Each structure stands twice: as structure tokens, then as C-alpha cells.
Amino acid sequence: MATTLSVRLDDADERDLRSIAARLNASASDAVRRLIRAAAQPEGLEVIKRLSWPAGPPDPQVKRFRVARSWRGFLPQMGNTPAGEAAFRAGTVLQRSDTMPDLISTLHARGALLEPLPD
């Protein structure tokens, strides 16, 4: 059984969809179907998450973030915490704190994918 899906796109997104469809030599509907099939695969979804993640630094007003993809790397000294290797599992919730105010921006700068959470 087929389902009709209606999506509101702004002008830029519509241009992008038409461009993608042209590069795939497909209609806009077929391009959306191919994108859905690609996103259904774990590696496809991972690429989409990485490439479509907001590019700018985290909003300084947001206090809590969820780690969207596991991250491991080196962190500089922050507050009383010495420099060293750190790891955060996907799903971990981080909160800005007075003791390590730069943790969120440092993780972002080092490539961690952080999803803002409501307070």
C-alpha cells in the first residue's frame, strides 16, 4: 500500500531537492525514496547525521546536551580536571557547570555531536 506524504519546504530546500533529483536522474519523489532507503541503512544514517548536523557552536543559553554519537578524544585541562583522554557514550547527558564551563564548546570544537535538550 502506498502512502502520500506532504512536506513543506522553503525555497532553498526545494532547490536542493530538485538538484539532488537531477543528479540522480530521478524525479523529486524518486529522490526522496532513495534518500529514505539510504537513511534506513546504519552507515547511510550516520553519514546523514554527520553532514546535516548544525555547523555553528552550541547556543550558550542551552544548559543540557545529549551526546548524539559516542566520542573519544583528548581534552585540555579544565578547572580542577587535568588534561587527558576522555570518552562519552551516545546518549550521555551533559550539563554546563561552573566547574567546567568550557566542556561543551571544547567537545564541539573537537567534533563531538551534541544535541541541545530543553531545560
Q: What is the pLDDT of residues 59-118, one digit of tens each?
A: 788 888 999 889 999 999 887 788 889 999 999 999 887 657 788 888 988 888 888 888
Exposure of 68 in the CB half-sphere (CA atoms within 13 A):
18
Whole-number pLDDT of residue 98: 64
The 3-state secondary structure of 38-92 reads HHCCHHHHHHHHHHHCCCCCCCCCCCEEEECCCEEEEECCECCECCEEEEECCCC
Exposure of 109 in the CB half-sphere (CA atoms within 13 A):
8
